[in-house]
Structure 1
Amino acid sequence: MSAFRTTATIDWLQALRGLAAMAVVVTHAGWTLAQPAHKELAWEYFAHGALGVDLFFVISGFIMFLTTRSCDGSPRYVADFAIKRFARIWPLFLVVSLIYLGLAWQKADAFPTAYFTDVASQLVFRPVSPKASDFFLLPVDVAWTLCFEAYFYVVIAISLFSRKWRWWIVAALLTPGLVLYPLLAQDWNFSFYHQSAIAQSHYLNLAVNPMVWEFVLGLLAGWLYTRDWTQPKRPLAFCMIAAAGIAFIAIPETHTPTLYGPTIEYGGLTIFAIFMLIALASKTVQLPVTRWLVWLGTMSYSIYLTHKLGFMAAAQISAWLGIQSASARDWVGFAIHLTCGISTGALFHYAVEAPLSARVRNALLLLGRKSKEADFANTQAHPV
C-alpha cells in the first residue's frame, strides 16, 4: 500500500471516529431539551447519534485486523500489543474514575464505600450489574462500552500467540458466547437490551452480548479492505460514496432510536454497510476529509469519556444565563452542552490522555525490553 494510501486511510478513519464522538455528544446533549416539541425532535433525530457507539465498535475491529497483520506469534509481540492497548485506554479511565469518585465523596460528605467498590469493579472492566439494559450500572456510565473493548482486546491478544491459526482461535473464543449460548438458551436475540443476565459471572455477560458481533463485523471489514479484488473502479467508488450518504440520511427510517445491535433495526448492520462502502471507496479515490473532523477523531476517546463532566459545567452556565424564553433556553443550553462537552474532551486529551498514555506505554515497553534482556543475560551466564 502506498504512502499516499496510508495517509488517506488514517484521515478517513480519524474523521469517522470524530463523527462517532460528535454523534454521542449530540445524543446526550439532546436529552437536556425540555420543551415537548424539542424532546420529540431530539428523539426523532438526535437519538440516532447513539449509533456512534456501533461505529466505534466496527472501527475497533477494523483496526485490530489491520494493525495485527504483522503478528509473528511471539510472546514479545503479544506483550507489546497488550501494553499499547492498556496504555491507550486505562490511564485516562483511571483519572476520570477518580474524578467521579471525588464528586461522589463531596456530595455524600463521607467516603462512599459502596461507590468506591463500584469504581474498583469498573477499573477492571467488570460490569457492576449483570444487566446490559442497565448499561452495567458503572459509575462512569458511558464506560460500559470499554468493558466490551477490553473483552475484545483480550480475545485478540490470546489469538496473537499463533500466527497461522489466530483467526480460528478468535472464532473458537467467540463462538461459545455468540452462537452456542443463544442456541442452548433458545434465545437468539440481537438486541443489546434483551440479553438474559448471567448473575454467576458478570464478565460472562460481555461474552454473550450480541454487541460483540459488531467487532466481528469490523474484522470482516478489515479482511475485505485488504483484498486486492475489492478495489473498485473510480465510477463505482463514487457510487459507493453516494450510497453511503444515502444510507446515512435514511437512518431515521431504518433504525429505531437509541437501540444497539448488529442488525439494520438496531443500527449495527447499517453502520457496517456505510463503513464498508467508505472503506472500499477510499482504496480508489481520496476522500474529502476536513481537518476539524480529523482533529475530533484524534480526541474521540477523551471526548467520549469526559463529555458528561463538561455537561456539569454547561448546566451551571445555562442556569447562570437565566434566559427567560423556554425555546431559546433549550437551544442555547443545547449549544452550551455541545461546546462544553467537546471542550472538556479536548482539555483532557491534551492535558491527560496524550501525555499520560505515552508515558505509561513507553515505561511498560521499556520495562518489558529490560526484562527480556535480563532473561537473555541470565541464559548466557547459566546455559542449560
Structure 2
Amino acid sequence: MFSTMARDPSRGENTTTGTGASPPPPARRTEGTIALVQALRFFAALLVVLYHAPTMNPDYTERPSRFDAFHLGGAGVDVFFVISGLVITLTVAKARHFDLADFAARRFWRIFPVYWAFLAATIAVELLSLRVGIGAPFAEAGNPVYIVTSVFLLPLPFQIMEVAWTLGLEITFYLLFALGFRCYGLRGVVAALLLWYAFAVLYVSTPLGDVPALFYLGYPVILEFAFGIAICWLHLNTRMPLGPAALVLGTAAMAGALFAPEVASLAALLHEPELRREFQFGIPAAILVYGAVATPLKVPGWLLLLGQSSYILYLLHSLFFGVARAAVNLALGVELGASDLGVAALIVGAVALSAVLTHTVERPFLLWSRRFVPGYSVPPTGFGAGIPAKRDT
C-alpha cells in the first residue's frame, strides 16, 4: 500500500504528514501512459453516444439501423468507472500529502460547473419544447425534486439528464475516497468500497431491491472503481508486465461482450447464463485499462483533444441531438434521425462541437478555476488574464 511517510523537501528527511497516507512519487508514470488512457476516454464516451444513436429515430423500434449493433454500448460507462478509480488514486499518489480541501476543490471545479451549464441548457430546452409543443419533452424538467437531485448529483433515480446517474455515483465515490483516505489511507478506501459493494450485492439479491430510491446506491457496478484502484497500485509498485498483450486482450474481450455476447462474452466463455455488469463488462474494461497504462504508446494530438473532450461529449450529445434534429426539421423539413446517414452526421457534429468547446471554453475555464484550488500557482492567461495568480505555499 501507499507509504504513510512523506519526504520533506526542505529538510531532506521523511516526516509523518498526519493527514492520511502520502505515497512516494510515481516515478514510472510517462506521458505516453497517460495519453493512452486519455484516448481511451474518448472511445468510452463514443460508445455511449453510439448506444443512444438509434433512439434518435422516431420509429427506431420498428426500423432496423446499423447503429443497433451498439445496443450494449452503455458499457463505455464501465470503462469510465475503471479509469475514474485509476485517475483519482493516481492524483492522490502524486501529492506530497493528502489535503481534503484541495481534493474537494479539484473535483468540484472539474465536475460541477460544466455539468451545471449543460443541466441549465437541458432544462431550458425541455421547458421551451414543452411550451411550444415541439418534440417529446421531459416534463420532470420543471419538477423541484428532479431539479434538486440533478443540481447536487444525488445518487437517486430522479435525474433530468439521462447520463447524470453515473456522475452521482462518481460523486459518491469521491466522497467515500476522500473520507476513507483521510482517515485510514488507501486501505480505508478499499475497505469502504468493498463494504459499499457488499451492500449493493445485498440490495440486488434481497427484498431491499424493491426500494427504488436505493437503485443507484445499490448498483454493484461500483466494484469497477476498485478495479481502477488496483491498476493504479500495480502501476506504482510493479513493472506491469504484458501491457501490449493486455491491451489486445482487453480490446478483444470488450468487443466480444459488446457485439457477440452469446458466444464471446465472459459469461459465454464461463458457460454461465448471465453475469452481473461489473463482471461481464467491468473485467474486460479493467484488462483494457491495465493494457493502456502498461503500454506507453505515443498518441497524436488530435486524439488527445478528443480524449479531453470526452466529458463534454458525454454531457452534450443527447441535448445536441435533440436541438439539431429540431432545427433541421423546422428549417428544411428533414428528420435527420430517420436515416443512418443523418444519424452519423449528428454524431460527427456532436464530436466536433465537443472538441471545439473543450479547446475554446473548458480548457481556459479550468485554468482560471485553479486559482480557487489550494496550493495552485496559475499563470495569468485565459479566463484569469490580469488577475494575480495564487502562489504555492
Is TM-score (shorter-chain normalized) higher than 0.5? yes
Q: Which residue of 1 aligns with 2:234?
A: 224
* Distance verdict in 2 for CA 1:338–1:365, change over 3 Å: same
Q: Which residue of 1 aligns with 2:10?
A: none
More helix by share: 1
Tell me which amino acid in the other structure corresponds to 1:97. Answer: L
Distance (whole Å) between structure 2 residues aligned to residue 109 and residue 317 of structure 1: 16
Distance (whole Å) between structure 2 residues aligned to residue 66 and residue 156 of structure 1: 12
Asked if 1:39 corresponds to 2:64, the answer is yes
Helix, strand or coil: the match of 2:182? coil
Q: Which residue of 1 aligns with 2:196?
A: 177
Asked if 1:90 corresponds to 2:112, the answer is yes
Q: Which residue of 2 aligns with 1:156?
A: 177
Please list the CA deviations of residues 180-212 of structure 1 after superposition, one character each: whole Å capped at 9, or x if unmatched.
5634x6818xxxxx982546xx4x544432121
Q: Conserved in 1, the CA contact under 8 Å of 2:53 and 2:67? A: no
Per chain length, whose mean CA-contact separation is higher, i.e. which structure has more relative contact order (CA < 8 Å, sep 6+)? Answer: 1
Distance (whole Å) between structure 1 residues aligned to residue 201 and residue 252 of structure 2: 34
Q: Say which is worse superposed, 30-39 or 304-313, in terms of deviation.
A: 30-39
1:212-361 matched pairs, under 5 angstroms: 212-232=222-242, 237-251=243-257, 252-254=259-261, 255=265, 261-264=277-280, 267-280=281-294, 282=295, 286-316=296-326, 319=329, 320-321=331-332, 330-361=339-370
Give the TM-score normalised by the residue count of structure 1.
0.75
Give the TM-score normalised by the residue count of structure 2.
0.73
How many residues matched?
A: 335
Compute the displacement of 1:216 (Å). 0.9
Helix, strand or coil: the match of 1:17? helix
Tell me which amino acid in the other structure corresponds to 1:140. Answer: M
Tell me which amino acid in the other structure corresponds to 1:363. Answer: F
Q: Conserved in 2, the CA contact under 8 Å of 1:159 and 1:167? A: yes
Q: Conserved in 2, the CA contact under 8 Å of 1:310 and 1:344? A: no
1:34-113 matched pairs, under 5 angstroms: 34=59, 39=64, 41-43=66-68, 45-70=69-94, 77-109=99-131
Q: Which residue of 1 aligns with 2:218?
A: 208
Asked if 1:18 corresponds to 2:42, the answer is yes
Tell me which amino acid in the other structure corresponds to 2:192. Answer: L
Distance (whole Å) between structure 2 residues aligned to residue 62 and residue 323 of structure 1: 44
Q: Which residue of 1 aligns with 2:15?
A: none
* Distance verdict in 2 for CA 1:56–1:30, change over 3 Å: same
Q: Say which is worse superposed, 12-21 or 46-55, in terms of deviation.
A: 46-55
Q: Which residue of 1 aligns with 2:22?
A: none
Compute the displacement of 1:228 (Å). 2.4
Helix, strand or coil: the match of 1:161? helix
Compute the displacement of 1:17 (Å). 0.7
Q: Aligned Cα RMSD in Å?
A: 3.7
Helix, strand or coil: the match of 2:260? helix
1:107-122 matched pairs, under 5 angstroms: 107-109=129-131, 114-122=142-150
Please list the CA deviations of residues 309-362 of structure 1 after superposition, one character each: whole Å capped at 9, or x if unmatched.
2102331355355569x9x95122112220232233234434543333333342
Tell me which amino acid in the other structure corresponds to 1:338. Answer: I
Q: Conserved in 2, the CA contact under 8 Å of 1:32 and 1:334? A: yes
Structure 2 counterpart of 1:125, from 140, 143, 153: 153
Q: Conserved in 1, the CA contact under 8 Å of 2:54 and 2:60? A: no
Compute the displacement of 1:68 (Å). 1.0
Aligned-pair identity in percent equals 25
Distance (whole Å) between structure 2 residues aligned to residue 304 and residue 229 of structure 1: 33
Distance (whole Å) between structure 1 residues aligned to residue 26 and residue 236 of structure 2: 13
Distance (whole Å) between structure 2 residues aligned to residue 85 and residue 109 of structure 1: 36
Distance (whole Å) between structure 2 residues aligned to residue 314 and residue 364 of structure 1: 37
Compute the displacement of 1:138 (Å). 0.9
Q: Conserved in 1, the CA contact under 8 Å of 2:42 and 2:306? A: yes
Q: Conserved in 2, the CA contact under 8 Å of 1:58 and 1:217? A: yes
Q: Which residue of 2 aligns with 1:196?
A: 209
Q: Which residue of 1 aligns with 2:383?
A: none
Q: Conserved in 1, the CA contact under 8 Å of 2:249 and 2:287? A: no
Q: Conserved in 1, the CA contact under 8 Å of 2:105 and 2:372? A: no
Compute the displacement of 1:108 (Å). 4.4
Distance (whole Å) between structure 2 residues aligned to residue 35 and residue 147 of structure 1: 29
Compute the displacement of 1:219 (Å). 0.7
Please list the CA deviations of residues 99-144 of structure 1 after superposition, one character each: whole Å capped at 9, or x if unmatched.
12222332444998842441222111124xx5xxxxx241111111
Q: Which residue of 1 aligns with 2:205?
A: 187
